Amino acid sequence: MDTEDRDAIAEAVRQAEVLTSGEIVVVIDRAASSYRSVPMIMALTIALFVPWPLLLLTMTSAPRIFLIQLICAAVLLAALLWYGRGGRFVPGFVKRNRAHDVALREFTARGLTRTRGRTGVLLYVAVQERYAEIVADTGIDEKVEQETWRGIIEPLLLAAKEDRLREGLIAAVADLGTVLAKYAPPVANDVDELPNKVVLL
């Protein structure tokens, strides 16, 4: 996502916040995790079984078997790390859990728990995991049905799948603004408490 895309989304946030006293923060995460541990464990586990056929079927010396095992471990590790990049070996529910955990951390890290009226809302997207989530503070979350958030997230995920992430995010921000306008309308002396710029991780 280039600077022009981020500026367009930031402008959408600014326009949405005109309608509400709430605060919207957009975080785009290239990957919630590297998932390197899974291919590493797979490679080392497979390498543990390499000596057994050599011990049972050959007269190869122990030092040579150990060397073969090390070479196999290194080759497997390189191959599986390359093939498994992006979490290819990781179940979808694990990826979603990782992305959800990052979303919760970002919600706190971006100051959304410190807004006046507790009306901060995070729109988090993990690109590699194909995951998106809306995290709202107590002043909003207790008033809005989860179905409402799903109605914003599902079109966003579809747009991301069709390589239209910018358009999907702009539409999602506009929808968030509409929801926030209903439950957190503008108040007197309202100020923009958080930056509107897109956070790219």
pLDDT at 169: 94
pLDDT of residue 34: 75
Q: What is the DSSP string of the chain?
A: --HHHHHHHHHHHHHHHHT-S-EEEEEEES-S---THHHHHHHHHHHHTTHHHHHHH----HHHHHHHHHHHHHHHHHHHHHHTTTTTTS-HHHHHHHHHHHHHHHHHHTTGGGSTTS-EEEEEEETTTTEEEEEE-HHHHTTS-HHHHHHHHHHHHHHHHTT-HHHHHHHHHHHHHHHHHHHS---TT----S--SPEE-
pLDDT digits (tens, 9 = 90+) for 124-153: 999 988 999 999 998 888 888 889 999 999
Is the backbone of residue 87 left (phi > 0), alpha (psi -120 to 50) or beta?
left
89, β-bridge pairs:
none
Query: What's the pLDDT tens digit per position in 7-57?
Result: 899 999 999 988 888 889 999 998 887 777 777 888 888 888 888 888 888
Tell me the two tokens of residue 156: 């966003």
Helix axis angle, 165-183 to 146-161, nearest 10°: 170
pTM (2 decimals)? 0.79
Assess whether pLDDT exceeds 80 at residue 187. no
Nearest to 115 by CA among 11, 17, 10, 15: 17
Query: Quick check: 5 and 166 in contact, CB under 8 A?
Result: yes
CA atoms of 102 and 29, how far apart (whole Å): 9
